Chain A
Amino acid sequence: MTNDMFIQILAAFLFTMGLLVVLLRRDTIMILMGIELLLNAANLSLVGFSNSSHMIEGQLQVFFIITIAAAESAIGLSILVNLYRNFGSIKTQSATTLKG
């Protein structure tokens, strides 16, 4: 098990954990944090492959992803504030108006 593979396995694990956070936690803000973890895992994988293939495009992409993640988290938190205003709480179970 080389370094490269180890980093990839770590990225996969972080990705799974991020997914579990998104699916299992009850607050909307936790979902946003899970999304950050997911993005981070993807970044790790990209950097790992960029390093092992001796190319720099992977790192450039990580640069952009981090930027976009920042923008996205800002907007996500604004939406969260709106959600709180409209439903009175940020629990995911309280925003089920699309229930069939």
Chain B
Amino acid sequence: MSPAIVILSVIAAVLAAYMVIAKSPITSALCLLGVLIMTAAIYGLIGEHLIATIQLVVYAGAIMVLFVFSIMLLNLNNDETDYRKNPLIFFGSIAAGLGLFTLIVLGLKEYFEKHHAQRLLGMFNHETVQKLGGNSKVLAHALFTQFYISFEVISLALLTAVVGAVVLAKRKVD
């Protein structure tokens, strides 16, 4: 448990928690941005450099910008923008969330105590990756040889998304 990861995690957790209760949407968007950056940092610290870069460029750089644009565009007034106060939904959600968290943690605990030691390891430990040319090279090689079909399909998906977004948002010409 390296201290850097701990600090980054704590900051990410606090930002995520604040995102729930923040009053204005812009504050929430900025908190989300913060979480994304912290997560990208964590990726970097454990050696997943390509993913960290992609996260920063795509997620934090493109998606969040889009969100901020939309919030600005919608010109939301600041009343009634925070969380729902209906006690049934409020406490129900919190309870459900807590329940879910507990379940997952319990499951994790059981896994790490019983099964983690006997797991099957792949071949890409740290030394091998460095020998093969680093994380990006290894990933790129796998992407363009073993998983190239998925790669092409993803391109098609992106194309569809672009077309769909344009069609949906078009103003109907009266």
Q: Which A residues have a C-beta under 8 Å from some C-beta of B? A: 1-10, 12-21, 23-27, 29-30, 32-33, 36-37, 40, 43-44, 47-48, 50-56, 59-60, 62-64, 66-75, 77-82, 84, 90-91
- Which residues of chain A are near B98, meaning CB under 8 Å? 16
Q: Which B residues have a C-beta under 8 Å from some C-beta of A? A: 1-2, 5-6, 9, 12-13, 16-17, 19-20, 25, 28-29, 32, 35-36, 39, 42-43, 46-48, 50-51, 54-55, 58-59, 62-63, 66-67, 70-71, 74, 76, 80-84, 89-90, 93-94, 96-98, 100-101, 104-105, 108, 112, 116, 119-125, 128, 138-139, 142-143, 147, 150, 154, 157-158, 160-162, 164-166, 168-169
- Chain B interface mostly: helix
A33–B108 CB distance below 8 A: no
A54–B122 CB distance below 8 A: yes
A-B contact count (CB 8 A): 219
A51–B47 CB distance below 8 A: yes
Q: Which of B25, B112, B157, B161 contacts A30 (CB 8 A)?
A: B25
Of B100, B157, B169, most buried by chain A (CB within 10 Å of CB) is B169
- Which residues of chain B are near A19, meaning CB under 8 Å? 93, 96-97, 100
A-B contact pairs, 12 of them (CB 8 A): A14-B12, A17-B20, A32-B67, A33-B29, A33-B67, A40-B39, A63-B50, A66-B59, A67-B157, A71-B157, A81-B169, A90-B74
